[in-house]
Every structure is written in structure tokens, then in C-alpha cells.
Amino acid sequence: MNCGWNRFADEFTIICRCEEVTRGEIETAISQGACTPDDIKRITRCGMGPCQSKTCRMPVMAIIAEFIGRPLSQVASPKARFPLFPVHLEVLATMPNRQNAEVIDILLHAIDNREQTGE
């Protein structure tokens, strides 16, 4: 990344807006052994929000590269995992495989609560 944003980012700068993860939290994770975006995600939740790392992927990779002293091209990209988009509770609750009735009941209860509160 040649935009120079990292010159102005201090430890309190929010890198992942969805999960409100700061540069300091990412650097702490790296100092504790995280060396890939997936490691950072597991430790900080960075990249697990609604955008699914579309906004913070490159800044996280740039921070890793800077911190470990390697070019950005040598930093692994995060792995995409399904689902790649949010799934509504109704879809999960009405799936044909109903082996676990307890989970289905929890989902249906959550749907009822959401409808009652208007969310």
C-alpha cells in the first residue's frame, strides 16, 4: 500500500470499523505470534464484521508486513470461508435438515422476538 495511511495511524487508530479493532490490538496480536490475517481474525475478530474483511484486509496485511519487516507480497491473504454473505435466521430455521430440533427452536424463537420488537 503506497497511500501512506500507516504514517498517520497510531495504536488507537481503528483499522476494522465493523469490529472496532485498533492498530494497537493488531500489533499486540502479532507480537504474541499472529503472522497472518487469519491469525489476527481469530485473536481480535478483525475482519469478522458485516464487510467480511473487505475494508480492513489490506491495512491488516500492511501492518503485518511492516511489523515483521517483509514486503506486502509475502504476507498471506485471508482465507474466504462460507457463508460469504449474511444469512437470515429464517433461512437457517427452515432448512430441510432438522436433525437438531433444539437449534431450530432457538432460531424460531429469535425470529419471533425480532418480529415482535420490529427489528
Comparing CA positions, the residue from 76, 54, 50 lying closest to residue 64 is 76
Kindly state whether residues 68 and 32 are assigned to the same domain: yes
Residues sharing a CB contact under 8 Å with residue 29, sequence separation 6 or more, in sequence order: 39, 40, 43, 44
Kindly state whether residues 99 and 66 are assigned to the same domain: no
Which phi and psi angles does 98 have, rounded to 5°? -110, 45
What is the pTM (predicted TM-score) of this model?
Answer: 0.65
Kindly state whether residues 91 and 70 are assigned to the same domain: no
Cell digits of residue 110: 429469535
pLDDT digits (tens, 9 = 90+) for 1-24: 445 677 788 999 999 999 999 999
Which residue in this structure is represented by grid cell 437470515? 88
pLDDT digits (tens, 9 = 90+) for 27-79: 999 999 999 999 999 999 999 998 888 899 999 999 999 999 999 999 988 88
Count of domains in the chain? 2
How far apart (Å, rounded) are the C-alpha atoms in residues 77 and 80?
9
User: Which pLDDT score is estimated for 1?
Assistant: 44
Please report, for the domain that includes residue 17, its CATH number.
Answer: 1.10.10.1100
User: Which pLDDT score is estimated for 97?
Assistant: 63
